[in-house]
Each structure stands twice: as structure tokens, then as C-alpha cells.
Amino acid sequence: MKYKAFLILALPLLIIGSGCANVKPWQRGTLADYTMRADRDPLGQAQIEHMWFSREAASGGRGVGGGGCGCN
């Protein structure tokens, strides 16, 4: 019984833990690539903004520019 309870507690922890991928600062070249930028396609972004505005009567407030290298 105790063993079962321990497994029930420990197993999710093990699964969640092993699913973590720790990207080191020197491995962020791909994340820093231009294609990872949220604002890489101005026309596409403008279309999305237009649809968002038409649907929600709200616009803007969509995060910040830059890639994902986390530099500085």
C-alpha cells in the first residue's frame, strides 16, 4: 500500500522531470534565429492584427520584439 502510494507520488514527478529540456545559454543559436521572431512577417502580422481588431474591438499589446536567445 505504502509502496503504491509512493509510486503514485514519485512517478508523475519523474515523468514531468524527465520532460524538461534545459537549453544552455550557448545552445540558443536556433532560438536566436530570425525565423524565431514573432514579428518576422510584418504583412502576416498586420492581417492577424486586423482580424483580432475586427473580432475583439481591441488591438496591440502583443509582447515585445527580439529572438529567444535571452542575451543580456
Partner 1 sequence: MNTSLLKKFAVATLLAGTFFTASAALKVGDTLPDLASFKLEGKLPDALKGKIIVVDFWASWCTPCAKSFPVLDELQKKYADRVVVLAVNVDDKKSKMDAFMAKHPVSFTVVRDAEQKLVAAVEPATMPTSFILDATGKVRFLHNGFHGEDTRKEYISEIESLLK
The binding site for partner 1 (CB under 8 A) comprises 2, 5-6, 9-10, 13-14, 17, 20, 22, 24-29, 32-33, 69-72
Q: What Rg, from alpha-carbon coordinates, does the chain have?
A: 21
Q: What is the rounded distance in angstroms from the CA atom of residue 41 to the CA atom of residue 17?
A: 35
User: In the complex with partner 1, which residue's Cβ is closer, 18 or 54?
Assistant: 18
User: In the complex with partner 1, which residue's Cβ is closer, 25 or 60?
Assistant: 25
User: In the complex with partner 1, which residue's Cβ is closer, 12 or 44?
Assistant: 12
- Are the C-beta atoms of 36 and 67 separated by less than 8 Å? yes
**Which residues, at least 6 apart from 71, have a Cβ–Cβ distance to it below 8 Å?**
32
Kindly state the smallest distance separating residue 19's Cβ from partner 1, in Å: 11
